[in-house]
Structure 1
Amino acid sequence: MKRRISRVRWRGNLFLSILLSLCVGSLFLMQNQYSKIMMLAKQTPQEQKPKIAFLFIARNRLPLDFVWDAFFQGDKEGRFSIFVHSRPGFLFNKVMTRSPFFYGRQVNNSIQVDWGESTMIQAERILLQNALKDPLNERFVFLSDSCIPLYSFSYIYEYIMSTSTSFLDSFADTKEGRYNPRMHPVVPVNNWRKGSQWAVLTRKHAEIMVNDDIVFPEFQKHCRRKSLPEFWIRLNFICIKQLMKSWTLSDGFILQKDLQISGCFGNMCGSLIGLAKFIFNTFDYEITQFRGIRVLLKWYFKVFSFMQPAEGWKEHNCIPDEHYVQTLFAQKGLEGEITRRSLTHTAWDLSSSRDRERRGWHPMTYKLSDATPKLLKAIKDIDNINYETEYRKEWCTSKGKPSKCFLFARKFTRAAALNLLNTSALVLR
């Protein structure tokens, strides 16, 4: 009897031991699997590093794509994405760009953009909407088609990602004529700001700009560039019609005597000459597309054939892209979250116009003769920015230490950029 009892106990203990072992083994396996899952979850963000979205605003193609091709080759870890807003229907393929980085990178919902109109802001919002679809894009850099990087990809990436703030040129606008009182009370004058459109935004600020449905409608209604005097437009149309009948362009230059023959004199003549020079300096990489004067004049009609308001003297000369983002962030109380300077250098030619009101509207364009190592060094050596309207000087810092102010620069012609790259003045790798 005792033997039977001992055997039963022995078998019971054995069964319990086996059962306990199975439980412990199962718990160990579950813990091991859980640890592996947690390790993979922790490794995923490290493997997929945050990216910078480069947002290009272009007329058609990107004339400086070869510069950016060299720049993007400096990244081997997939830390960037590219989006281009060009005219509707324009495709970036092997015919339109030699850089594979830009193949198919155009946004499909682009619009026609006019300088000095709210369509520029719409284009920026479209770019952000497309870039925000990628959750890894954490910084958003606005760039023009005449912009070049000044440093390698790694340097620029570390500079931008080292801070949690956006970079946005923003200062109080004290000049009369820009702020339209009709914006009040939605946009009060104390929140009115001015600055460069070439900003670097954090993801939070990019989402705020895209989702804004209060400030942007006010800009659409009340922030517009000032129209040209009606008599100036009509007289220039007379000159244009005469030119279209008789004169053709063969070498890319407009002579004053040709305009005088057609009946254009004085300031009108100078304005047409200035317009032609601007077009040929800007589009010298596509000079063959502007051989005919008719093409030039059609462009002229498109730019200046807008209606003169009945009360032109009450117009406010407001350029939306110079005010919108800055005013929006001031309105939202976000100025403490931005570094109030741009990372893109722009030189303003204050002597380019005899008209004081229009002087300085367009920045200088660097041509082949300007593209020297000395020029790049002068831009790179800038370490502070002076804001006269606020009586302050912004000393540039990065990672808490004094640094250079600018990572990008504009406006460069194709010839100028090619010369800088070929002479090794511009080192991007």
Structure 2
Amino acid sequence: MPQGAAATAVDGTGKDGGGGGGTNPSTARPAAALPLKLLRPLLLVAVLGTGFLAVLVLLLGGPAYSSMLPSLPAAADALPASVGKAPLERWVRAPASAWHNMTDEELLWAASWRPSVRRYPYRRTPKVAFMFLTRGPLPLAPLWDLFFAGAGDAGLFSVYVHATPGYRPDFPPASAFYRRLVPSQVAAWGQVSMLDAERRLLANALLDPANERFVLLSESCVPLYGFPAVYSYLTRSRASFVGAFDDPSPHGRGRYRGGLAPEVRREQFRKGAQWFELDRALAVDVVADDRYYPKFREHCRAPCYVDEHYLPTALSIEAPAGIANRSVTWVDWSRGGAHPATFGEKDVDEEFLKQLTAAPGKRQGNCTYNGQPADVCFLFARKFAPSTLRPLLRLAPKLLGYG
């Protein structure tokens, strides 16, 4: 066979264009084999590089994100339900620590999710989220630990602490406050940053699907009853406890700002206590609010205080039947001034605590609960100085029902 014919036979696939009748086969083979020799080391480098990057991500970024992600079901958990496994419960389990590395924008987005199907497809025990808004230390934490110990089951409550950035708590592992600090920012009294801190606490608590009731507390708050009574009172309530009233004085409607319109009219402007309690549905509404929150953030400046007006106003407009128009946290305004009275060690004795708990018609006042007159209106009280810890620890077992 002539040399040109041999070349045509080698290139019969047509990939070389079929027009190289004068091409020498001995020179064509190395050109075809060269890419294969280069491809093998390139593939090896790519595989090794991918593996290195994967290990690097796990070492540097894994722990920060893994605490926020539900654990994947193990192979045994993939068995049919008849075997007694519940894979979904592993996906809705709350993180062991309250810390994470999400931004506020990411946090509020994650917290605003809610299922369209109201019935839970797994056994769910409602929890009460106790959210502490504090500058730093919690001097009354030992009293609260006695209160939480009375739950008998840690699955009935959760704790969240929003403190000034830089605060490093040293609670022991046995404390209910251990690893419950959430990422925070500076919150100043009377400023919109205070409302941001409250929404941040709500959003963190909403990440636990079991949390059903959300109560805002300060470092100066104390529980007035044992955990079973508080838990029952909150979880059985058909309303959330938000104070909202129309105050025609300069300290009420006088604080209204025209920039709140048209979303909020002057006659809709309300005032109330900062220390609220919400059910899950309203808590989601608050963190997802893009109607009233932007207005208050921009226009409610002193003497308009967002922590006193935003929540009472927004919920009075959107969910008037869902709030009880009162707080469950007692304070004493009888001494006058811009702030309620602070109680010291000498104030806390048996008579004082009896007036707060066992004397209807005195400190408890008159209120309704689920549409019926109630003897108990307040579950918590403030403001208690750090010096009150000693007498409270001594009197709590006898007068408050815990410890």
Per the alignment, residue 366 of structure 1 pairs with 343
2:156 to 79, 87, 108: 79
Alignment partners' CA distance in 1, 2:379 and 2:266: 32
Q: Which runs of 5+ in 2 are unaligned?
A: 1-79, 89-118
- What residue identity is the alignment partner of 1:373? E
Q: SS at 2:255's partner residue?
A: coil
1:199 to 255, 268, 276: 276
Q: SS at 2:354's partner residue?
A: helix
2:224 to 137, 150, 160: 150
- What residue identity is the alignment partner of 2:197? A
2:310 to 315, 324, 333: 324
Contact 1:117 1:319 survives alignment (8 Å): yes
1:377 to 329, 333, 354: 354
Per the alignment, residue 330 of structure 2 pairs with 345
Alignment partners' CA distance in 1, 2:222 and 2:334: 19
Structure 1 residue 418: Cα displacement? 2.2
Question: Residues 49-198 of structure 1: matches in 2 within 5 Å?
Answer: 49-77=125-153, 78-94=155-171, 100-108=175-183, 110-176=184-250, 177-198=254-275
Q: Which runs of 5+ in 1 are unaligned?
A: 1-32, 226-316, 352-359, 387-392
Structure 1 residue 190: Cα displacement? 2.1
RMSD value over aligned CA atoms?
2.8
Per the alignment, residue 216 of structure 1 pairs with 293
Question: Residues 245-284 of structure 1: matches in 2 within 5 Å?
Answer: none
Per the alignment, residue 314 of structure 1 pairs with none
Q: SS at 1:59's partner residue?
A: coil
Alignment partners' CA distance in 1, 2:358 and 2:370: 14
TM-score, normalised to structure 2, is: 0.65
Identical positions, percent: 38
Structure 1 residue 145: Cα displacement? 0.7
Higher relative contact order (CA 8 A, sep 6+): 1
Structure 1 residue 39: Cα displacement? 10
| Residues 418/127 of structure 1: CA separation in 2 closer, same or farther (3 Å cut) | same
Contact 2:238 2:370 survives alignment (8 Å): no
- What residue identity is the alignment partner of 1:50? P
Alignment partners' CA distance in 2, 1:174 and 1:382: 32
- Report Cα offsets for 1:169-219 as digits up to 9, x if no partner: 111121122111232222211221111111110000000110112211222
Structure 1 residue 121: Cα displacement? 0.5
- What residue identity is the alignment partner of 2:181? Q
Q: SS at 1:365's partner residue?
A: coil
Contact 1:128 1:206 survives alignment (8 Å): yes
Contact 1:85 1:106 survives alignment (8 Å): yes
Matched positions, count: 287
- What residue identity is the alignment partner of 1:328? A
**Which of structures 1 and 2 has the bigger CA Rg?**
2
Per the alignment, residue 388 of structure 2 pairs with 416
Per the alignment, residue 232 of structure 1 pairs with none
Alignment partners' CA distance in 1, 2:362 and 2:309: 19
- Report Cα offsets for 1:121-148 as digits up to 9, x if no partner: 1000000111111100000000011000
Structure 1 residue 348: Cα displacement? 1.1
Structure 1 residue 396: Cα displacement? 2.9
- My pick for the range that moved more, 172-181 or 70-79, is 172-181
Alignment partners' CA distance in 2, 1:349 and 1:382: 18
Contact 1:58 1:85 survives alignment (8 Å): yes
| Residues 99/123 of structure 1: CA separation in 2 closer, same or farther (3 Å cut) | farther
- What residue identity is the alignment partner of 2:317? Q
- Report Cα offsets for 1:299-341 as digits up to 9, x if no partner: xxxxxxxxxxxxxxxxxx2121111111111232x01111111
Following TM superposition, the consecutive aligned residue runs of length 4 or more in structure 1 with deviations greater than 4 angstroms are 33-46, 381-386, 398-401
| Residues 214/104 of structure 1: CA separation in 2 closer, same or farther (3 Å cut) | same
- Report Cα offsets for 1:386-415 as digits up to 9, x if no partner: 9xxxxxx96233684633111000000122
Structure 1 residue 420: Cα displacement? 2.1
Contact 2:128 2:212 survives alignment (8 Å): yes
Structure 1 residue 38: Cα displacement? 11
Alignment partners' CA distance in 1, 2:120 and 2:272: 41
Structure 1 residue 224: Cα displacement? 2.0
- What residue identity is the alignment partner of 1:330? S
Alignment partners' CA distance in 2, 1:54 and 1:39: 28
2:380 counterpart of 1:395: no
Structure 1 residue 385: Cα displacement? 10
- Report Cα offsets for 1:352-406 as digits up to 9, x if no partner: xxxxxxxx310100111110121112122565799xxxxxx96233684633111
Q: SS at 1:331's partner residue?
A: helix
- My pick for the range that moved more, 194-203 or 184-193, is 184-193
Alignment partners' CA distance in 1, 2:85 and 2:389: 49
Per the alignment, residue 402 of structure 2 pairs with 428
| Residues 98/147 of structure 1: CA separation in 2 closer, same or farther (3 Å cut) | farther
| Residues 150/34 of structure 1: CA separation in 2 closer, same or farther (3 Å cut) | closer
- What residue identity is the alignment partner of 1:124? E
TM-score, normalised to structure 1, is: 0.62
Q: SS at 1:72's partner residue?
A: helix
Contact 2:161 2:180 survives alignment (8 Å): yes
Alignment partners' CA distance in 1, 2:271 and 2:349: 31
